[in-house]
Chain A
Amino acid sequence: MRKFFLSALVLLSAFAGGMPLWAQQASAFAASAQASGVAKQPSDLHRLELESTLQQFGNTDNSAGMGLFQPLSGSVTELKVFREAGDYHRAQEGNADLGFRFSTLRYDRLTEQLFMRGSFYYSYDSEKDRKWSDVIDPYYSIPYIYGSSIAKNYDRHHCRLDFDLYTTPLSDIVSVGVKLNYEVADISGRRDPRPRTGYLNLRAIPSVLLTFGDHHIGLDAGYGYSKEKLSGLATVQSYPNLYYYRMSGLDHMDGTVAGYSGFKRQFEGHRGLGELSYSWTSKKMDVLVSGGFEYESLSAYGDNKQIPGTFNALTYKLQAGLNVRGQAALHAVQMNASYKDGGADEYLQEKVSVIDRKTGISTQTWETLYIYKNRYVMGKTDVCASYRYYGGYTGGDYRWSVGAEAGWSSYRRAFYLPFSSAGATGWNLGVEGSCLLLRLRGHKLDLSAYCKGYLHGESSLELTSDNLYVQEVLLPDQAFYAKDYVRAGGSLSWQFPLNLGKAGAANGYVRLCGGYLRAFPTGFYNDISLAVGLFTF
């Protein structure tokens, strides 16, 4: 089928007066498999990594641009178990995580000009001894979070479906595509007071790509909806002095004994996003520059439609990618920058009870008396650049690679009336490399290693309260950001051929990964994982 498609493409291009370069590239990539003499081969780990690098639009929200580079049709499925643990973590994170992940990814051609990429991801993990946060993101989102000071284990189920549908250029100019994301999660705490949170996230992003010879201009815009809901907290026993806390930004919080009783809260969010991309493809070089934004609006709701507050944020993203194909070499440069600017409006509300004098029926509503606009603000910046060199590059494989990365990150949070603030900056540096140790009769043994470091920059903390949340969360977090660390690790992968009978040939693999982080002056974190996977058609 793939041969037929390529042939048709060549014919059409000849008819149109020349094959566009992106088509040349795609056919060359596919032809590399044919040139090896194997008519039909499943993908493998190296090819998967190269496809991810060369599929530049795969890192954007523009599905239409994915038609510029078409990986081999087929799928990869992986099951991974992992464990990580250590004392270098933020106060609202656990000190260990144990679980497994199942994922599958497939590229396929549906019709002559219609392609798809679909993936399914499921994970279950148990985060140990987490406290002070019964929400998914306590750091860079809505500040009206809640939690208990009792450390407990949290079990999480997370499921995600991603689907990209895209075309090759229709009439040689316009490609269209759509990206759909569906995500659900369930998080439950395993100690009193026991929270149970459900999460839903949906996104739909249609896109278009205009092709003018070697130049491509892409545009995508979409909508997202999310909901995070705490239905209630259960207790197995009764406690005379068990507090539950509601936060409103930085050091401002309110704690009540048995405050978990009847406590409900949900965050409902709407997102609008857009992105403009430019790509230039040639025989030896591909360039992609993409800039976009995402506007997010979250509202918190309590009991009886009480509104503690709302949060809105604008995130700007900029990314650039450069792939240069040399003589048996591939250079890949990637730069990403993002800035998130958010602010929360705090609502001062009063419960109004109206009693019908005739029937005695009481009606309760929440009346908003005042809104503190942008009482809580936050800003987060991340900049990262990476370079990777693939040696022995043949189009669908490579023998070794080496790379380096550098980045800078900062965050700032502030609360007004009275004023509190916290912030930190830091630099990331890292080197990595990989090498094919052995290739024999379809078997491959691959070794990779990395070494990364973090250097802290300036940090600040200015507070007006001295409560338990300050002592157990904000001060330890500030100490966390003030530490440097070095992290080293690697992986060993063994890939082997399989014959699945009527299903044809496949490639299986086993990969063992591990890493160790050492923070200075104190702190450590280690991780280990074992994955088994399968490449099929």
Chain B
Amino acid sequence: MKRISYLFVLGLLLMACKREVPVAIDSFRMQFAMPEECRDDIFYAEQTVNFRGPAQYSFRTDARGGVDIQSLIPGIYDINTYIEMSGREYKALLKEASTLSDDARLMLGVSLLNRRIFSAEDLNLQILAMQLSDLVISKVYYSGTKDKMDRNYTVDGYVELFNNSDHTVYADGLYLALAESVSPAAYPAKDNPDSIYARQICRFPGAGTDFPVEPGKTLLVAARSARNHKESAPTSVDLSQADFEVKLEDGSGNPDVRRLPIVSNSTAVQYFNLLSGGPNAVFLFATDEDVVNDWPEVYQRGKTSGERFRRMHKSVVLDAVECLKKPAQSDPDVNTKRFQDEIDAGYITINAVNGYNCQSVERRASRFENGRYYLVDTNNSSTDFTVSNDPTPGKYDKEGLQ
């Protein structure tokens, strides 16, 4: 009976037109080239290369710094590979002597966002050497949550900075900013390869050594209100111990928390205006120039009124994280990224269209050594950051961060 049924099915199938099904891409090579300043006998050998896309793959480069890929699902991939090394280690690879500090922190690698791989064409990728920032943005909480009455609660946002180096750094004089976030994007990175346009810029006060951040320690900035928000919304966070609070006047808000002043603003909002559903392109920069008087303010293209954004060159950026808005029907639109690939090659997004789901974006921990955490920093928030359902600041032993 079983044989008859199989034969019957086989007969029917033979009658039907045979469908051509999709097949994986096979047999192509991905070759990595070291920076030009490196010696010719140096290869990007024995390193892990991660592909994230329709499927996740992890390859290992061979002795010649390449990978022979046998099978790959065609699609769009984020390709990421990196190694960290000190200035001393990097100088040992160079053809010529360098003035690079031995204590400098470098990242060798490449991060590609949305690389299209649809055919078996060999890939040739250039390894970049990037000096990493000592002070990085480690957490951004902007989604908000629900209060005791199930109403939207969005006054509990914060940005946390982390000293990822082995020496003390100082926040004095640094700038914390938000790029423009109008919809549609006024100045996306794909149309502006050299400039970033900020809608809000805050500046840390101090004479130079007033606000130290020890190695492995944090600096917490309350975006709007530095209080214990759990009293109003049990799922929220306690910001009463924040280091800085963005507010209009000293003594207002939480009088025990120092004011982080806004020095440039496209609107009248007097707090760090994180949007609950995004986008929030947060960045840290440093410059000796006069931001307010020397950097121009521009309207949106085609407009002569409304918001004006402060234009700056991308080279001033120390660290950045691109938080895109998640649409309901598709993946985030990467064409709306405000940061160039050299600033942030990826993006991160909370898993909610409008927010209010108590999620934060947090930088992953790469290792725990000598009693402190070191965080991942490849200048690609797609791989450096993850989404956490526990937005508690100052906490790096969360399961999802490891």
CB distance from B181 to the nearest CB of A (A): 14
Chain A 337-358, CB-CB to B under 8 Å as 1, else 0, gives 0010101000010111101111
Does B116 contact A353, Cβ atoms closer than 8 Å?
Answer: no
Please tell me if A515 contacts chain B, counting CB pairs below 8 Å. no
Please tell me if B207 contacts chain A, counting CB pairs below 8 Å. no
Binds B, one of A251-259, A392-400, A435-443, A446-454: A251-259
Please tell me if B280 contacts chain A, counting CB pairs below 8 Å. no
Interface SS of chain A? strand
CB distance from A464 to the nearest CB of B (A): 9
B16: which A residues are within 8 A, CB to CB?
Answer: 314, 316, 339, 341, 379
Does B9 contact A353, Cβ atoms closer than 8 Å?
Answer: no
CA distance A353 to B303 in the complex (A): 18
Does A240 contact B302, Cβ atoms closer than 8 Å?
Answer: no
Does A425 contact B335, Cβ atoms closer than 8 Å?
Answer: no
Please tell me if A410 contacts chain B, counting CB pairs below 8 Å. yes
Given A240-B352, A303-B329, answer yes or no on A374-B357 (Cβ-Cβ < 8 Å). Answer: no
> Of the candidates A240, A351, A364, A369, which one forms a contact with B146 in the assembled complex, judged by CB atoms under 8 Å apart?
A240
Of listed A241, A360, A377, A417, residue having the most chain B CB within 10 A: A417
Please tell me if B21 contacts chain A, counting CB pairs below 8 Å. yes
Please tell me if A523 contacts chain B, counting CB pairs below 8 Å. no
Please tell me if B97 contacts chain A, counting CB pairs below 8 Å. no
CA distance A314 to B18 in the complex (A): 12
> Of the candidates A258, A353, A364, A370, which one forms a contact with B118 in the assembled complex, judged by CB atoms under 8 Å apart?
A370
> Of the candidates B19, B185, B329, B356, which one forms a contact with A374 in the assembled complex, judged by CB atoms under 8 Å apart?
B19
Does A259 contact B301, Cβ atoms closer than 8 Å?
Answer: no
The number of residues on chain A lying at the interface, defined by a beta carbon within 8 Å of a beta carbon of chain B, is 55
A369: which B residues are within 8 A, CB to CB?
Answer: 76, 116, 118
> Of the candidates A358, A373, A381, which one forms a contact with B9 in the assembled complex, judged by CB atoms under 8 Å apart?
A381
Please tell me if A408 contacts chain B, counting CB pairs below 8 Å. yes
CB distance from B11 to the nearest CB of A (A): 10
Please tell me if B5 contacts chain A, counting CB pairs below 8 Å. yes
Chain B 170-188, CB-CB to A under 8 Å as 1, else 0, gives 0000000000000011101
Does A240 contact B353, Cβ atoms closer than 8 Å?
Answer: no
The total of interchain contacts (Cβ-Cβ below 8 angstroms) comes to 139
Does A259 contact B302, Cβ atoms closer than 8 Å?
Answer: no
Chain A 354-383, CB-CB to B under 8 Å as 1, else 0, gives 011111111010000110111101010101
Chain B 204-247, CB-CB to A under 8 Å as 1, else 0, gives 00000000000000000000000000000000000000000000
Does A306 contact B330, Cβ atoms closer than 8 Å?
Answer: yes
> Of the candidates B150, B301, B330, which one forms a contact with A360 in the assembled complex, judged by CB atoms under 8 Å apart?
B301
Does B303 contact A360, Cβ atoms closer than 8 Å?
Answer: yes
Chain B, range 1-50, C-beta contacts under 8 Å to A: 2, 5, 8-9, 12-13, 15-17, 19-24
Chain B, range 303-353, C-beta contacts under 8 Å to A: 303, 326-330, 333, 335-336, 351-353
CB distance from B380 to the nearest CB of A (A): 19
> Of the candidates B8, B23, B150, B301, which one forms a contact with A355 in the assembled complex, judged by CB atoms under 8 Å apart?
B301
Does A256 contact B353, Cβ atoms closer than 8 Å?
Answer: yes
Return the chain A residue nearest B354 by Cβ: A258
> Of the candidates A240, A357, A375, which one forms a contact with B357 in the assembled complex, judged by CB atoms under 8 Å apart?
A240
CA distance A341 to B116 in the complex (A): 31
B184: which A residues are within 8 A, CB to CB?
Answer: 353, 355, 362, 364
CA distance A258 to B143 in the complex (A): 13
Chain A, range 415-436, C-beta contacts under 8 Å to B: 416-418, 425
CA distance A374 to B354 in the complex (A): 35
Please tell me if A521 contacts chain B, counting CB pairs below 8 Å. no
Return the chain A residue nearest B353 by Cβ: A258
Chain A 243-256, CB-CB to B under 8 Å as 1, else 0, gives 01010000000001
Does A259 contact B353, Cβ atoms closer than 8 Å?
Answer: yes
Does A258 contact B12, Cβ atoms closer than 8 Å?
Answer: no
> Of the candidates A244, A357, A377, A417, which one forms a contact with B19 in the assembled complex, judged by CB atoms under 8 Å apart?
A377
CA distance A361 to B185 in the complex (A): 10
CA distance A241 to B358 in the complex (A): 9
Please tell me if B54 contacts chain A, counting CB pairs below 8 Å. yes
Does B302 contact A360, Cβ atoms closer than 8 Å?
Answer: yes
CB distance from B94 to the nearest CB of A (A): 39
Return the chain A residue nearest B118 by Cβ: A370
B55: which A residues are within 8 A, CB to CB?
Answer: 417-418
A246: which B residues are within 8 A, CB to CB?
Answer: 329
Please tell me if B300 contacts chain A, counting CB pairs below 8 Å. yes
Chain B, range 365-394, C-beta contacts under 8 Å to A: none
Does B302 contact A260, Cβ atoms closer than 8 Å?
Answer: no
Of listed A237, A263, A355, A375, residue having the most chain B CB within 10 A: A355
Does B357 contact A257, Cβ atoms closer than 8 Å?
Answer: yes
CA distance A230 to B23 in the complex (A): 33
A262: which B residues are within 8 A, CB to CB?
Answer: 327-329, 353
Please tell me if B75 contacts chain A, counting CB pairs below 8 Å. yes
Chain B, range 81-139, C-beta contacts under 8 Å to A: 116, 118
Please tell me if B166 contacts chain A, counting CB pairs below 8 Å. no
CB distance from A250 to the nearest CB of B (A): 14
A352: which B residues are within 8 A, CB to CB?
Answer: 335
CA distance A84 to B326 in the complex (A): 42
CB distance from A37 to the nearest CB of B (A): 52
13 pairs, A vs B, C-beta closer than 8 Å:
A256-B353, A260-B328, A303-B329, A314-B17, A351-B333, A359-B301, A359-B302, A360-B301, A369-B118, A370-B116, A374-B19, A375-B22, A383-B8
Contacts A316-B12, A356-B301 known; list 9 others, CB within 8 Å. A241-B352, A244-B328, A256-B328, A258-B328, A262-B353, A351-B333, A361-B302, A369-B76, A416-B22
**Closest CB pairs A-B (n = 3):** A360-B302, A362-B184, A257-B352
